[in-house]
């Protein structure tokens, strides 16, 4: 996919005199594609600048992003362009969806203690009503 993106950026040079003009149209598309592929705003900005600036189309930004994210992920250029794997190494692996669903289905709910209710202050007029109810029920 990265090779396709890089070749598409250079395709404008196949038509004489319009090579640099097509870069203005392709630069946002390349930036969006790099952001979607690598999740990196700095790499997308690098790809945009590579396409929009004149005579820089020889730089294969997408292929550089792939090389850095796949082979050289622990180098300073990968960290600079936001394609290093530091976040992935620190995070615990997520369980498979089927295993997570099975664990949830068989797990017993934990008993919870009822929340303590704050004591209510007596409201004027209700005390006599409460007394009448107790007398009616025969609890007085």
Answer yes or no: is 122 within a domain: no
- Residue 35's pLDDT is what? 92
Please tell me the total count of domains within the chain: 1
Residue 11's pLDDT band (cuts 50, 70, 90): confident
Global pTM reads 0.57
Q: Does 2 have pLDDT greater than 70?
A: yes
Answer yes or no: is 18 within a domain: yes
CA angle at residue 84 from 80 to 88, to 5 degrees?
145
Answer yes or no: is 38 within a domain: yes
Answer yes or no: is 116 within a domain: no
Answer yes or no: is 46 within a domain: yes
Q: The domain containing residue 38 runs over which residues?
A: 2-90
Q: Does 26 have pLDDT greater than 60?
A: yes
Q: How far apart are CA 73 and CA 104, in angstroms?
A: 35
pLDDT digits (tens, 9 = 90+) for 51-109: 888 888 888 889 999 998 889 888 888 888 888 776 554 445 555 565 555 555 566 65
């Amino acid at each position: 996919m990265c090779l396709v993106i890089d070749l598409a950026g250079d395709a404008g040079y196949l038509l004489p005199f319009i090579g640099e003009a097509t870069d203005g149209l392709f630069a946002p598309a390349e930036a969006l594609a790099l952001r979607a592929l690598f999740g990196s705003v700095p790499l997308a900005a690098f790809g945009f600048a590579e396409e929009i600036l004149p005579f820089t189309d020889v730089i294969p930004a997408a292929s550089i992003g792939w090389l850095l994210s796949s082979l050289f992920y622990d180098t300073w250029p990968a960290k600079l362009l936001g394609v290093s794997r530091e976040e992935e190494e620190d995070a615990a692996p997520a369980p498979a969806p089927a295993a997570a669903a099975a664990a949830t289905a068989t797990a017993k709910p934990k008993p919870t203690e009822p929340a303590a209710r704050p004591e209510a202050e007596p409201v004027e007029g209700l005390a006599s009503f409460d007394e009448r109810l107790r007398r009616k029920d025969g609890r007085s």
